[in-house]
Chain A
Amino acid sequence: MDILVVLEDNRGSLHRMSKEAIAGAQKMGGSISALAIGVNADAMAGELSGVDITEVITINHDLVSSYNADGYSDVVSQVIKSESPKTIVAGHSYQTRDFMPRVSAKLDIPFIPDIISMDDGIVKQVLNAKLNALVTTSADQVILSFQSAMFSEEAMVTGSCLARSIEVNLDSSIVRSEAEDPFQEDAGDVDLESAELIVSIGRGIEKEENIQMAFDLAKVLGAEVSASRPVVDSGWVEPFRQVGSSGQTISPKLYFSLGISGAIQHVVGMKGSKNILAINKDPDAPIFEIADYAVVGDLLDIIPKLIEALQTEKDL
């Protein structure tokens, strides 16, 4: 086995980033096995039955029927020990961040997280995404996690694969944590994922009073409103509008960002947008690196005039 892809159960179906990890593993080449753990292991294996990899290994044990870091890190470590993959890959999800370091520590295998490219060696972003770093390892085995959207799930090569169920020995003493059921605080009634046009608010909006301006712009454009984390944390916009690693991942036709600097935690949630138009005072704002149109200026001057001009356009 060259590559072991550790899959993630996203409430009954395969996590998007697990599919991206499969696509990434296929691009790397070699024999690929995927590992599905838990009560939905067979369903996850089923989702991959038409994909060109060697096999899906399924494990269902009472102690790992649902996710917990103690059990998962033990099970994944056992599989790595018995199957000896050279590379272990996963999506850089919150769950991966929660248990994969423990696998790394148990087995003394380095974990290189949040990779953005494998084309010319292993590359990750450093210093708030202002620089990239080429990371090398001297170890025989390595654990990698891919940044969201580094690979596209559509790039998964079709074919066929086998399913193999394996047994693991787990002592009940290893699971020390007690998890309650996951919950959503305020789901809201906004569907950002299917919105064609999105106006997104960042810290550059400066004050709560200015938020209305963004909603007015969205209204005249027929767009939905989203926001970056600092704006949500300030309580100016509801949490269900948050885009980024802790919020939603979206890919609208137009992402119109107002005063968003482009911190990496935000960018991972919107970099798949077809067109990005960004307004920011700072000509060096990282958002401009990924923007198609970069408007350098004060949004508090520009937006009222833009709303007026759009209104005139509409009335014509």
Chain B
Amino acid sequence: MKIAVLVKQVPGSETALPILGNHKWIDEEQVSFVMNPPDNFAIEEALLIKERTGDGEVVIVSMGPTRVQKVIREGLAKGADRGIHLEEDGQIQTDPLSIAKSISSILMDENFDLVLTGLQSDDTGMGQTGVLIGEMLGMSTGTLAMETDVQDSAIRVKRELESGWFQWVKLPLPASISIQSGLNTPRYPSLRGIMGAKKKEIKVVSPSDHQTDAILQSIDKVFVPQTSKQTEMIEGNADSAVTRIIEILKSELKVL
């Protein structure tokens, strides 16, 4: 079983997000980056599938500037076998079709049985790259997998539907599947894993070898959301908060 896991490096949930002077994106120089949290579950699922099937290879694939090698290394430290880094220079690409074309062009010759992704990225939240790549490479596709069960030439996935509904779908391999967060408990890298990761290969693909010209959508401007709601801030100690909450429930909302 040869598995590619697509991972992304994104701003951490605690980091400040200063907007660039041209308003096109945030100032990445001032941002601390982490592995896109949903991707941790995809890496774990890939490693579990490899362990369950007893053989195979897990390859961590990421696109972005040099900094993204840190998350590839993190995947290698957890037990993945090698990495592929699609290098980007300048402004990061946010057009899912163009990103998917780049990644597909590099994955094509590798003949992966499975491509796994997290459910979406915490930065642009487009939530489609894995499915786009699946279509481009002629794979079957499934999303929001809560459980996986690899069979001979197929994979059964328990898809999460809405409002507490689920559905098992059997997909012939090769398949591209997005993994729902929470389905497993991502492992931490061991010290031995971290040391071993340094010796594992990361193949770097330069921008001219994967980038496409046609960019069909782009982010023109980012801005702080304006709330239309009047929010009453209630600060102070617990007793004064309780007094005010009782007043709200009783006199303003009349629910007591």
Q: How many interface residues does A have (CB within 8 Å)?
A: 92
Residue of B nearest to A298 (CB): B238
Is A168 an interface residue when CB atoms closer than 8 A count as contact?
A: no
In this assembly, does B170 line the interface, its C-beta being within 8 Å of a C-beta of chain A? yes
Which chain B residues in 135-153 approach chain A with CB under 8 Å? 135-136, 140-144
> How would you classify the secondary structure of chain B's contact residues: helix, strand, loop or mixed?
mixed
Min Cβ gap B168→A in Å is 4
B57 at the interface (CB under 8 A from A): no
How far is the CB of B239 from the nearest CB of chain A, in Å?
7
Q: What residues of chain B lie closer than 8 Å to A170, measured between beta carbons?
A: none
In the complex the two chains form, what is the Cα distance from A305 to B143 in whole Å? 45
The number of chain B residues with a CB under 8 A from chain A is 78
Q: Considering only CB atoms, which chain B residue lies closest to A289 in the complex?
A: B227
Residue in B126, B169, B180, B253 whose CB lies within 8 Å of A177: B169
Residue B128 at the chain A interface, CB threshold 8 Å: yes
13 sampled A-B residue pairs with Cβ under 8 A: A70-B140, A101-B129, A129-B225, A131-B225, A134-B222, A177-B142, A180-B168, A180-B170, A182-B166, A229-B182, A294-B231, A297-B234, A297-B238
Residues of chain B whose beta carbon lies under 8 Å from any beta carbon of chain A:
11, 13, 17, 19, 26, 95-97, 100, 122-129, 131-132, 134-136, 140-144, 159-172, 180, 182, 215-225, 227, 229-239, 241-246, 248-250, 253, 255-256
A: residues with CB less than 8 A from B are 68-70, 73, 93-95, 97-102, 104-106, 108-114, 121, 124-139, 142, 176-187, 196-197, 221, 229, 233, 239-240, 242, 245-249, 253-254, 264, 275, 277, 279, 283, 288-298, 301-302, 305-306, 309-310, 313-314
Given contacts A129-B225, A294-B234, 10 further A-B contacts (CB under 8 A): A100-B128, A101-B96, A101-B129, A105-B100, A131-B223, A136-B217, A136-B218, A138-B216, A180-B168, A182-B161
